Amino acid sequence: MEQILSRREMLKLSTVAAGTVAISGVAGCASFTGGGNAGTGASNSTSTLPKRKLGALEVSGIGMGAMNTVAGYYGPGIERADAIKLIRAAYDQGVRFFDTAQVYGPFLSEDYLGEAASPFRNDVVISTKFGFNLEGGDRGGIDSSRQVIIRSVEASLKRLRTDHIDLFYQHRVDPKVPIEEVADTVQDLIKQGKVKHFGLSQAGEATIRRAHKVQAVTAIQNEYSFWTRDPEIEVLAVCEELGIGFVPWSPLGMGYLTGKSFSPIEQLDQKTDLRAIAKFPRWTKEAIEANRPLVELLARVGDRRGATPGQTALAWLIHKRPFIVPIPGTRKIAHMKENVAAINVKLTDSDMQELESGFKKIGVVGKNAPPALLEAHDIGSFLESSSKGTYGLSPLPKIRKAI
């Protein structure tokens, strides 16, 4: 959801107001609070989590998003020292896969991650993203032209204090630059050793296929969670077919699926919480109330497995496909520990069926993002539409209109 911060919004966010987010649980669901009881409790740097493969890249079976350390997404960010502590604590829990992007902060999240990971850089996989014209003080929009990617990689390497980026995603499909050209630019960076793997974010099937023909795509990072099912239309199938990994962003439904985050837009920080700034449709009072049965369903199934609703939402993703690796984001060590412990939650086939049939029956009220933000998503990742039938052509705006 982060791509939408316009230059004006970014500037607005530079005056960060302190704000508190009211938290309320779901009545009658005892396992909603606390750190979760499905974990190992281990906390040292030798902890390891089961591994998963994203294409040819091995990562811990659950990762961590570092976007949340900075202001502008879920309220005020956290101090540098706390961000570093949080990331190192995640490493202690066995997390070996960290996600960031040039645009988070902008720049600040990469900077925090670079410092935090410096003592164990070669023991972790770091993913970051390009695709905005931000370097050199030029706060332009979506831009995947060759010179912008090259400027971006050099600056990201410096901030991340590393000589290589393990996984370099295009953050948003650029309708002005053919994806083949983008794949070719990243391929050059791979040949130079600056980048190890290529990824795409918020891309649909046609784009994925075209990119993969030029340069093997290692992972797709699209929004996917128990209440946002778009990748089930076509993207998961194409990942499976082509041997590409899938990294769901906002795997906790932007916090809603934890059952601890039921504050509507009016109660969120109006200056630093994007759900309020951009008026996310699922964060109106009506949608918050209407969607509660989804969390109650997660709680019911999770209770049987000793898991919180958030852990159940993450375990559901992990059980969906062996090539899925969620990257929940948080500013709090206790929440991070709860999230990481989701890897140990075992859901049975009948749990999965109950979750699926319950979801179908209940449905979801509200789109996952406001229209202006959805505009920047590639056509194939829209629910109720598809890049199928475009014969592999680029899902450019004119094709969108024709559908």
Residues labelled as active-site residues: 104
Report helix, strand or coil for 287: helix
Q: Report, in Å, the least distance between residue 101 CB and ligand NAP.
A: 7
Contact 162, 98 (CB under 8 A): no
Q: Smaller CB distance to ligand NAP: residue 52 or 331?
A: 331
Binding mask 71-110 for ligand NAP (x = CB under 6 A): ---x------------------------x-----------
Rule CB under 6 A: say whether 327 interacts with ligand NAP.
yes
**Contact pick of 77, 114, 302, 310 for ligand NAP (by CB under 6 A):** 310
Residues 187-206 touching ligand NAP, rule: CB under 6 A, are: 201-202
- Distance in angstroms (rounded) separating the CA atoms of residues 345 and 315: 6
- Distance in angstroms (rounded) separating the CA atoms of residues 232 and 213: 22
Q: Smaller CB distance to ligand NAP: residue 316 or 389?
A: 316
Please identify, among the stretches 153-161, 291-299, 330-338, 380-388, the one whose residues bind ligand NAP according to the rule CB under 6 A.
330-338
Residues 206-225 touching ligand NAP, rule: CB under 6 A, are: 221
Q: The tokens of 11 are what?
A: 């500037």
Rule CB under 6 A: say whether 330 interacts with ligand NAP.
yes
Contact 105, 5 (CB under 8 A): no
Q: Smaller CB distance to ligand NAP: residue 339 or 387?
A: 339
The number of residues that bind ligand NAP (CB under 6 A) is 32
170 pairs with which residues across the strands?
A: 130, 200
- Distance in angstroms (rounded) separating the CA atoms of residues 330 and 316: 19
Rule CB under 6 A: say whether 253 interacts with ligand NAP.
yes
Rule CB under 6 A: say whether 315 interacts with ligand NAP.
no
- Distance in angstroms (rounded) separating the CA atoms of residues 106 and 9: 12
**Contact pick of 131, 251, 309, 395 for ligand NAP (by CB under 6 A):** 251
Report helix, strand or coil for 101: coil
CA distances from 308 to 273, 302, 312, 402 (A): 25, 6, 6, 44
Rule CB under 6 A: say whether 2 interacts with ligand NAP.
yes
**Contact pick of 328, 345, 347, 364 for ligand NAP (by CB under 6 A):** 328
Q: Report, in Å, the least distance between residue 389 CB and ligand NAP.
A: 25
Q: The tokens of 299 are what?
A: 């709680």
- Distance in angstroms (rounded) separating the CA atoms of residues 242 and 261: 37
Q: Smaller CB distance to ligand NAP: residue 171 or 210?
A: 171
Rule CB under 6 A: say whether 378 interacts with ligand NAP.
no
**Contact pick of 332, 367, 388, 400 for ligand NAP (by CB under 6 A):** 332
**Contact pick of 329, 351, 379, 380 for ligand NAP (by CB under 6 A):** 329
Residue appearing with tokens 């989701």: 342
Residues 51-70 touching ligand NAP, rule: CB under 6 A, are: 65-68
- Distance in angstroms (rounded) separating the CA atoms of residues 296 and 257: 9
Rule CB under 6 A: say whether 260 interacts with ligand NAP.
yes
Residue appearing with tokens 């720049």: 107
Q: Report, in Å, the least distance between residue 1 CB and ligand NAP.
A: 5
- Distance in angstroms (rounded) separating the CA atoms of residues 322 and 45: 25
Q: Report, in Å, the least distance between residue 308 CB and ligand NAP.
A: 7
- Distance in angstroms (rounded) separating the CA atoms of residues 204 and 393: 11
- Residue nearest to ligand NAP as judged by C-beta position: 65
| Length of the chain in terms of residues written | 403
Q: Smaller CB distance to ligand NAP: residue 175 or 328?
A: 328
Report which of 76, 61, 64 is spatially closest to residue 18, judged by C-alpha positions: 76
Q: Report, in Å, the least distance between residue 148 CB and ligand NAP.
A: 17
Rule CB under 6 A: say whether 339 interacts with ligand NAP.
yes
Q: Report, in Å, the least distance between residue 381 CB and ligand NAP.
A: 10
- Distance in angstroms (rounded) separating the CA atoms of residues 266 and 247: 31
Report helix, strand or coil for 57: strand
**Contact pick of 29, 252, 276, 373 for ligand NAP (by CB under 6 A):** 252
Cis peptide before 178 (omega within 30 of 0): no
With a CB cutoff of 8 Å and minimum separation 6, the contacts of 156 are 102, 110, 128, 130, 165
| Residues of the shown chain interacting with ligand NAP in the complex, contacts defined by CB under 6 A | 1-3, 65-68, 74, 99, 201-202, 221, 249-255, 258, 260-261, 310, 327-332, 335, 338-339
